[in-house]
Amino acid sequence: MIELLLRIGRDFQWTTVLIALAIAFGFSLVLGVLILLINKFTEVKQDPRIEEVEKCLAGANCGACGYPGCAGFAKALVDGTAKLDACGQTPPDKRIEISNILGIAVEGNAEPTIAVVGCSGGVKCQDKYAYQGYGDCVSQNMLAGGRKACEVGCMGAGSCVDACPYHAVECREGYSHIDPDLCRSCGMCIKTCPKNLIRRVPVSAKVYVACSTQCRGKDVTSKCQAGCIACGKCQRNCPTGAIYLVDNVPIIDYSKCIHCYKCLEGCPRKCIKYVHPEDAPSSTETAEQAK
């Protein structure tokens, strides 16, 4: 057997094999060099500011800005195709830092915000039909604009609850409530609500308008027991002119609000609510104030 193997080894064309191996190695070496050269000349260099901007963002990757995560939003900011206001979670100091990186002016209000629901109808608002089927708000809204008699009434079916990554939203009494202590103003609930009822207010705000109907008087009272009738008492009672009516909807100018709560005292429909429920006076305090 050993002799047979030795004979085969002597007859084998080792020179041919070595030449083939050398050619293969040389071809591989040339191909590797070509790949390196191609990568070098075709490499798309990323703007270093993208990484700097991304480090300043909240890092939640919630997608509320409309871009695929914070990295996508950072690139859009650097490219100039997005505005910093699209991210509600970036703190004021980081907004300023990003503005310095990009060489642009600070956009919008630098004060942090939280979300509030512009409706408090819920079970006090009539239904125009009995809905049967998958129960979230987006699904209900596909059928004749939802089941509520008010065209902009909260259906309280929880699309915003499911969308909130911070568990800051819950439905009670037939409409959505947002916990200001848990809200991070990411905007996911705002983006999800089919009625566009959720809006941002400054984190320092003490009150907000919990109604969005543009109807007035009899049209409102025939549908909802909690709807604003655009009587204008809140506007007249405000000592600083911080409240005014636009299309029968009270609007609060928070830069003028002095937190006197006169607007709440004058609202016959209780449409103006405390941002922080714990700020509401107890029944004993209310009785004392009445005296």
* Ordered alpha helix ranges (H), 12-124: 14-42, 48-56, 69-79, 92-102
User: Any idea where the domains of the chain sit in the sequence?
Assistant: 48-102, 113-290
Beta pairing partners, 274:
207
Summarize pLDDT for 83-93 with one digit per residue, the tens.
Answer: 888 887 787 77
- Average pLDDT value over all residues in the chain: 85
Q: pLDDT (tens digit, 9 = 90+) per residue, 17-29? A: 677 777 877 778 7
The tens digit of pLDDT for each residue in 171-220 reads 999 999 999 999 988 888 988 999 999 998 989 999 999 999 999 888 99
Cβ-contact 240, 258 below 8 angstroms: yes
Query: Can you give the pLDDT at residue 42?
Result: 60
> pTM of the full predicted structure?
0.69
Share of the chain above pLDDT 90, in %: 47
Q: What is the CATH number of domain 48-102?
A: 1.10.15.40
Q: How confident is the model at residue 283 (pLDDT cuts 50, 70, 90)?
A: low
pLDDT tens digit sequence for 109-126: 567 889 999 999 999 999
Q: What is the pLDDT of residue 281?
A: 81
Instruction: For residue 291, name the pLDDT band (cuts at 50, 70, 90).
Output: very low
Tokens of 121: 């109808």
What residue spans of the chain are helical by DSSP H? Answer: 2-11, 14-42, 48-56, 69-79, 92-102, 137-141, 159-163, 188-192, 218-221, 233-237, 262-266, 283-290
Q: Which CATH class is domain 113-290?
A: alpha beta
Categorize the per-residue pLDDT at 5 as very low, low, confident or very high, splitting at 50, 70 and 90. Answer: low
All residues at 6 or more sequence positions from 260 whose CB lies less than 8 Å from its CB, including other chains: 238, 239, 240
Residue 290 in this model has a pLDDT that exceeds 50: no
209 vs 60 pLDDT, higher one: 209
pLDDT for residue 187: 85
CA 137 – CA 158 distance, rounded (Å): 6
